[in-house]
Amino acid sequence: MSVYIPQKAMVIMAHPDDPEFFCGGVLALWAKAGAEITYLVLTNGNKGSDDPTMTSEQLTAIRQTEQRNAATVLGVKEIIFFDENDGELIPTLEIRKKVVQEIRRFQPDAIIAPDPTRYFYANTYINHPDHRAAGEIALGAAFPATGNRMYHPELLDQGLEPYPLRHIFFAGASETTLWVDISEVFELKMEAILCHTSQIKDPEELQERWRQRSKATDEYGREVYREGYRYMTIG
């Protein structure tokens, strides 16, 4: 199945670096095809360090710079930081309204968000609660709030009319329905990931781990790199 390529896309993720790790390959493909992409990064990532000399304020600034650099590598021009504290993201109505506001303003053809139902990866990793919360926020914003004028009616006073979002890609999904061949942009994805130097202790080990994790054999017997999604069309 060939992947849908939107003209405009919005990526709704919890932390700086999530867009690159979760979906950097597809974003590179979309940007290469001319798509306009916007990031919503819901937390500031201010707990992502074990350096005893690091402060939350310093780490927030570092991670925003890293995120901007990584986005530039992929061809993403706009990033909106919500600045919720790392590890404290909760799917409140207030945050959902802010996401609905940005979806109605930007009017993307598609969004990418984490799968809110994913709690575990194999038997080795517990999914971060912020990832699940970001997915739930995105899902609640996508349907029905974004397309229903009775939800967050105060947005109508800003000229933000309901918008019929149709395409949703859930990354890191518990049930994958779409595999995307990212072989041609895999190195670009890795370059973007490596911009997040504050989060990477061993760059060589990380690259090898992601190569192995992303490697697969396609239906023609060719070795490829791929990303998996649960892909939905609504409305």
Q: What is the pLDDT of residues 146-180, one digit of tens each?
A: 999 999 999 999 999 999 999 999 999 999 999 99
Res 2 pLDDT > 70: no
For the segment 69-95, what is each residue's pLDDT rounded down to a tens digit? Answer: 999 999 999 999 999 999 999 999 999
> Which sign does the torsion angle of CA 153, 155, 161, 165 carry?
negative
Break the chain down into helix, strand, coil percent, rounded to 5: 40, 25, 35
All domains of the chain in start order, with CATH: 8-87+108-132+163-233 (3.40.50.10320)
The pTM for the full model equals 0.95
pLDDT at 219 (0 to 100): 83
Q: HSE on the CB side for 24, CA within 13 Å? A: 27
Average pLDDT over residues 189-211: 96
**pLDDT of 234:** 87
Rounded to the nearest integer, the mean pLDDT of the chain is 95
